[in-house]
Structure 1
């Protein structure tokens, strides 16, 4: 039996997999257990989840070290959830940070705060090369306090604002920005299909073709901002001001072939949390949210490493039962599961 529970390693692994990977409601698991002559309460199952996550937390510092290794390029995003605190449900936030090269994703939840201190504490004295995010103002301190870290913003967010201006605001000028940003994306797709190295991508991005597109976008931006006739709608004004405000962060991806044109990596990685939000609707406490982010950290890292999530949890829980504490050898990429 797994320490502190009446569950075997295999049973606990399957329960975790079904709940956090397959989004199976706990009451369905209770029915399945009952059909196997196991009368287990909901609270008991949740207590088992807590016991498993407590041991996974001991591995998190090693995983975080890989995530924020010196010279790393990471993507970051956050999403909201509803958590019961002091008898009332409130809006809280879960963060996610991803290192594509290291194949590591780490979720974190600091009592649901979306404040700057959460990000500051998580990064600590990091020596990463770059962090990419959206334009949320919490990230802006990176430009002032982490002067050695390149802060990139997401060009997809800028494009989306012009898309809104075109579709909802019926602004004809939006199409120019949408089409030219689209050309930048076309170039990125060509680099991917040609399997270019980061060095080759950097050379292409700094070449004449990309430079001309960037110049056209900037020239049109300056021209429209100089026009104070008041003929534009609010959505177009917001799109133009967003592009101007974050211009340096939006085009910074041209500097290094490892950098991404947008923050879609973090957004995709965070999506399972939005799915869980729709299925579970709420967390009963801060602790419930913490347990969820721990499991999702290892689930998404397993996905990135091409490792079976179910087999990983089985192997990990078995290693804990054996008394192992060599946590550096108990990560999804080091525990020894065949891909």
Structure 2
């Protein structure tokens, strides 16, 4: 090899090394921009209507994404101030009247001395609140004795069973504590302090033990809800982390998981399940041969269950869009790029769903085939081209790879009008738990984690069915201990319960 050829080869190697370095530098710059955006900017993924108006057709932008030098004309809707309605006070609330009357000397007409008559009143209504009142329920079992021999004594049996025998906690108190923690995210130690302010000493250890016991008490009802869900053809699944301090063979800092299985519709059910791991065993236990399709994220642990039960797996377009929004945030400001192209394509799919959300499944299927499918075909062509030109380790490259890997799952929704386009409903349903987790941080034991999952299931299912969580829990805690062996839990399913 002569010197010229040797130099050319060395130059080629150097150019390749510089190209790799450029990609690495750009990737690091993206990470810095994304970190700054997460730290100091709004976290909303909502897309401005003005931004959507920049492009009449996403594919027209796909031809040339270097439009930062082009002038773009947008029409911005004029601002209209919206008047917020006054807060209304429900008519069913009890009223207490405070009468403001005239002095006696002013009840006479100054013109002719005639006594004035009441013709009405000018009313101002104010909301008042009485702090929580506590009373003691005393179960008195009357005792009888023979007045003659005094050798026969008989005590009346208690007519009802209690959720926790020999405990000071009534069904109402248990429901109150559970609602405060699992509905309002109020940790037990704060509740303990609140009870102290009204003169009641309730140690948080006792409160925790009560929650574990009622969590076990409602397990048959949880089993009934799970059996009901397993008969549903479409299910939403999601999972989030949970820290449990005392788990066999695991460090206190290790992660456990709370899984959600949900069905939305006329009789919604939201069922939470604690598991020490994120393994495929939980989806396998949740699902059944009756399940036709599941809406999940990109986690591979769901796939074995889909294979075992022949379930259609639906991908979440919100997850795919989120990755492109992150890539958009990581790109240079005022620069239009490929991330904008993908977001606009996906937004077209969502606009179709928004127009058809109230249509029956058969009509929605026709519109998806007519409008969404061509959009998906254009997006796929653009995706295949982009994969060849974008480095996979950049934010945009990761979004493109995710979209390509999940493509078949993401596009399954167009094959049935009843399938959802994303898993947002399940993500909204798991948010109450994540908010509560920020307050109470962890579960002490596996029993506590299972109890929390059970009570969260009842609270969120009650809310989804339009029931007051406190009233529903109180009804459940009163009824479950007194169900006979012939009775099933069907009467306690939220849609079968009528609360006073």
Counterpart position of 1:301: 461
Q: 1:62 to 1:321 in 2, by over 3 A?
A: closer
What's the counterpart of residue 362 of structure 2?
A: 199
**Residues 179 and 470, structure 2, Cα contact 8 Å, conserved in 1:** yes
Matched, 1:63 2:242: no
**Counterparts in 2 of 1:107-256, with a 5 A limit?**
107-110=272-275, 112-123=276-287, 125-147=288-310, 149-170=311-332, 172-192=337-357, 195-207=358-370, 209-225=371-387, 227-228=388-389, 234-256=394-416
Distance in 2 between residues matched to 1:160 and 1:141, nearest whole Å: 26
Higher relative contact order, chain-length normalized (CA < 8 Å, sep 6+) = 1
CA change 1:231–1:323 in 2 (3 A) is: closer
What secondary structure, in the 3-state scheme, does the structure 2 residue paired with 1:88 have? coil
Match among 243, 266, 275 for residue 82 of structure 1: 243
Q: Which structure 2 residue ranges, 5 or more long, are not aligned?
A: 1-161
Once residues 143 and 265 of structure 1 are traced to their aligned partners in structure 2, the CA distance between those partners, rounded to angstroms, is 21
Per-residue Cα deviation, 1:24-51 (whole angstroms, up to 9, x for no partner):
1222322333344432222211111122
Q: Is the 8 A contact 1:142 1:151 kept in 2?
A: no
Residues in 2 aligned to 1:184 and 1:233: alpha-carbon distance in whole angstroms: 27
CA contact (8 A) 1:169 1:233 kept: no
Q: Which has the higher helix share?
A: 1
Corresponding residue number in structure 2 for 1:270: 430
Between structure 1 and structure 2, the one with the greater Rg is 2
> Distance in 1 between the 2:482 and 2:246 partners?
37
- State TM-score, norm by structure 2: 0.63
User: CA separation in 1, counterparts of 2:183 and 2:220?
Assistant: 21
Q: Which moved more, 1:40-49 or 1:246-255?
A: 40-49
CA shift digits 1:299-329 (9 cap, x unpaired)? 1111111111111011111113434553111
Contact 1:302 1:308 (C-alpha < 8 Å) held by counterparts: yes
Q: CA-to-partner distance for each residue in 1:5-26, whole Å, 9 max, x for gaps?
A: 2111111111111111111122
Distance 1:243 1:63 in 2: 35
Aligned partner of 2:495 in structure 1 is 333
Q: Secondary structure at the match of 1:205?
A: helix
1:62-117: CA deviation from partner (whole Å, max 9, x where unpaired) = 111211215x211111001221036723211110011013400100112x210111
CA contact (8 A) 2:392 2:401 kept: no
Q: Which runs of 5+ in 1 are unaligned?
A: none
Q: Distance in 2 between matches of 1:31 and 1:248?
A: 53
Q: 1:3 to 1:83 in 2, by over 3 A?
A: closer
Alignment equivalent of 2:473, drawn from 304, 309, 313:
313
Of the structure 1 ranges 30-39 and 280-289, higher mean CA displacement relative to structure 2 is found in 30-39
The yes-or-no answer on 1:73 pairing with 2:222 is: no
Please report the RMSD computed on the Cα atoms of aligned residues, expressed in angstroms. 1.9
- Partners in 2 of 1:31 and 1:173 — Cα distance? 54
Deviation at 1:332, TM superposition (A): 1.6
Deviations 1:191-217 (A, max 9, x none): 12xx2112211111111x222211110
Q: Which residue of 2 aligns with 1:103?
A: 268
Query: Structure 1, residues 244-280: CA drift from partner, whole Å, max 9, x if none?
Result: 1111100111111211111111111111111111111
The total of aligned residue pairs comes to 329
Runs of 4+ in 1 over 4 A off after TM superposition: 230-233
What SS is found at the alignment partner of 1:43?
helix
Cα distance, 1:323–1:237 mapped onto 2, change above 3 Å: same
